Amino acid sequence: MGWPRVLVAGGSIGGLTAAVLLRDLGCEVDVYERSHAALEDRGAGIVVLPVTERYFTQRGGEDDRVSLELTFWSYVDRAGVVLSADPDHFRFSGWSTIYRALLDEFGPERYHLGHEMTGFESRPDGVILHLADRPSIEGDLLVCADGLGSTARSILMPEVVPEYAGYVAWRGTTPEAGLSERARADLSDSMIYQVLDPGHILVYAIPDHEGRSTSPHRVINFVWYRNYPTGGPFEDLMMGRDGISRAGTMPPGTIRLEHLTEMRATAAEVLAPTLREVVEGCAEPLIQAVFDLESPRMAFGRVCLIGDAAIGLRPHVAAGQAKACADGWALRDALAAADGDVPLALAAWEPGQLDLGHRALARTREMGQASQFDRTMIPGDPAWKFGLWEPGN
Ligand SMILES: Cc1cc2nc3c(=O)[nH]c(=O)nc-3n(C[C@H](O)[C@H](O)[C@H](O)COP(=O)(O)OP(=O)(O)OC[C@H]3O[C@@H](n4cnc5c(N)ncnc54)[C@H](O)[C@@H]3O)c2cc1C
């Protein structure tokens, strides 16, 4: 059997990882991304677990990495006193750095911006992808990497919807060069957490927009988890200064001034000096609401859901992106093992990825409950180490 013709709906890191892997296997692959412009900047850093950059490390080694390494995992108190500092190795990057590297790999010819999936038909002998305002396209396998608000999932399982977890992440970056000497020293090789009452914040360096990963070119990223109950506070937060109410993300420049003022006043009150400096240095932060999403299925004949479209994790294990990539790697392996037989490959692929996603989601739910509501998060607890399969891995 020949390699299938693959259609990927959603051209973010999950969709692009699947696309390069299946192309390298020998498939003809096209990516259809709803956005009209390249997804250049989401303004945020990410923790890079090995599987997220495996595509680059596996063929090239150190020079091909798209991230920087920090070697300490520290917790501080309100005064900035270090409560614990474990030597550890985690890698960090910017969302856009990884996206650009993958897009460079895949190339622009088969990456179709402004192509929105509106539906599909899965038949025994092929799939048809329906696009808004464009002719439909035929293929053998449809990979839906269309994120938490997945169109594909809403067609396949309309009852499965994201559930707001009761808190959001305030996120942003500030240039390392603009920080005080003390803050630069604190952040030189450490990722720093502070446990709050309730919630927590973490701060770490990432490469700058040009990919420069050495001091003082790096930028410092913060992620601050704060509770906003539904039924008023959350809805008010998500109403932008442009009068638009958003469901999941408030991009930089949209958060209302009274919320920015409140956030900065709270930062001055509760954060350690270095962390406060980082937060205050960011003129226009963004907000990402935290959701749980748990699908009971990922494979449907010749159609599959990967990444956030299938199972959306809370960010505490820093593995959402990694899971999207792991789904792609496993899909490649399953297709190779099935010699290109799509229904056979998807049936073999689904149980392992469902299990991986459900276990990771359960861990992140427990962590969110402990940090945001039960207030039982313990500085230095190894259970909090990042990892998709388990803490630290
Ligand atoms: C606060 C926070 C911090 C995080 N930190 C980390 C971290 O440190 N490490 C990590 O690994 N993960 C992290 N994540 C998780 C990570 O951002 C997501 O898990 C990841 O982006 C999921 O990737 P994806 O490709 O599945 O979906 P997405 O990145 O959401 O991409 C979906 C794509 O599909 C497109 N699309 C949507 N609908 C359609 C359609 N109908 N037709 C065509 N295209 C469509 C969208 O435009 C988008 O480009 C974090 C998440 C949050 C909220």
> Atom 21 (ligand 1): residue with closest C-alpha?
321
Q: Is 268 exposed, middle or buried (0-12, 13-18, 19+ CB in 10 A)?
A: exposed
What pLDDT is recorded for position 353?
Answer: 98
**Cα of 208 from ligand 1 centre, angstroms:** 20
Selected residue with higher pLDDT from 192 and 88:
192
Q: Note the pLDDT tens digit of each residue in 116-128.
A: 999 999 999 999 9
Q: Is the pLDDT of residue 71 over 60?
A: yes
Q: Is the CB of 93 under 6 A from ligand 1?
A: no
Q: Is the CB of 52 under 6 A from ligand 1?
A: yes
Calculate the CA dihedral of residues 127, 313, 297, 95 and round it to 10 degrees.
Answer: 10
What pLDDT is recorded for position 60?
Answer: 66
What pLDDT is recorded for position 67?
Answer: 80
Best mutation site among 12, 68, 353, 364 for ligand 1, i.e. most ligand atoms within 8 A of its Cβ? 12
| Distance between CA atoms of residues 161 and 292, nearest Å | 9
Q: Is the CB of 215 under 6 A from ligand 1?
A: no
Q: Note the pLDDT tens digit of each residue in 149-192.
A: 999 999 999 999 999 999 999 999 999 999 999 999 999 999 99
Q: Note the pLDDT tens digit of each residue in 226-256.
A: 999 998 999 999 999 999 999 999 999 999 9
Q: Note the pLDDT tens digit of each residue in 253-312.
A: 999 999 999 999 999 999 999 999 999 999 999 999 999 999 999 999 999 999 999 999
What pLDDT is recorded for position 64?
Answer: 52
What pLDDT is recorded for position 29?
Answer: 98
Q: Is the pLDDT of residue 336 over 70?
A: yes
**Cα of 12 from ligand 1 centre, angstroms:** 7
What pLDDT is recorded for position 258?
Answer: 97
Q: Is the CB of 310 under 6 A from ligand 1?
A: no
Closest C-alpha among 389, 287, 390, 385 to residue 89: 385
| Distance between CA atoms of residues 364 and 313, nearest Å | 7
What pLDDT is recorded for position 96?
Answer: 83
Domain 58-90+165-290 part of CATH 3.40.50.720: no
Give the three-class secondary structure for 239. strand
Q: Count H helices and E strands in the chain, helices first.
A: 10, 19
What pLDDT is recorded for position 207?
Answer: 85
Give the three-class secondary structure for 60. helix
Q: Is the pLDDT of residue 1 over 90?
A: no
> Atom 11 (ligand 1): residue with closest C-alpha?
321
Tokens 């990771």 correspond to 360
Cα 263 versus chain centre, distance? 23
Q: Note the pLDDT tens digit of each residue in 45-57.
A: 788 888 988 998 8
E strand or H helix that includes residue 286: strand 286-294
Q: Note the pLDDT tens digit of each residue in 367-378.
A: 999 999 999 999
Give the three-class secondary structure for 372. helix
Cα 66 versus chain centre, distance? 15
**Cα of 280 from ligand 1 centre, angstroms:** 27
Best mutation site among 308, 323, 329 for ligand 1, i.e. most ligand atoms within 8 A of its Cβ? 308
Q: Is the CB of 315 under 6 A from ligand 1?
A: yes
Question: Per-residue pLDDT averaged across 103-130, rounded?
Answer: 96
> Atom 52 (ligand 1): residue with closest C-alpha?
315
Q: Is the dihedral of CA 4, 7, 12, 16 positive or negative?
A: positive
β-strand 68-76 against 111-112: which pairing, if any?
unpaired
What pLDDT is recorded for position 232?
Answer: 94
Closest C-alpha among 179, 184, 87, 125 to residue 341: 125
Q: How many CB atoms lie within 10 A of CB 339?
A: 11
Best mutation site among 8, 146, 249, 250 for ligand 1, i.e. most ligand atoms within 8 A of its Cβ? 146
**Cα of 291 from ligand 1 centre, angstroms:** 12
Write down the domain spans for the chain: 5-42+97-162+291-374, 58-90+165-290
Q: Is the CB of 387 under 6 A from ligand 1?
A: no
| Distance between CA atoms of residues 187 and 91, nearest Å | 14
Contact 294, 305 (CB under 8 A): no
Contact 323, 357 (CB under 8 A): yes
**Cα of 146 from ligand 1 centre, angstroms:** 8
Q: Note the pLDDT tens digit of each residue in 15-47.
A: 999 999 999 999 999 999 999 988 765 557 788
Q: Is the pLDDT of residue 62 over 60?
A: no
According to CATH, the topology of domain 5-42+97-162+291-374 is FAD/NAD(P)-binding domain (3.50.50)
Atom of ligand 1 nearest to the CA of 313: 19
Best mutation site among 21, 31, 34, 286 for ligand 1, i.e. most ligand atoms within 8 A of its Cβ? 34
What pLDDT is recorded for position 295?
Answer: 97
Closest C-alpha among 20, 36, 214 to residue 98: 20
Q: What is the mean pLDDT of the chain?
A: 93
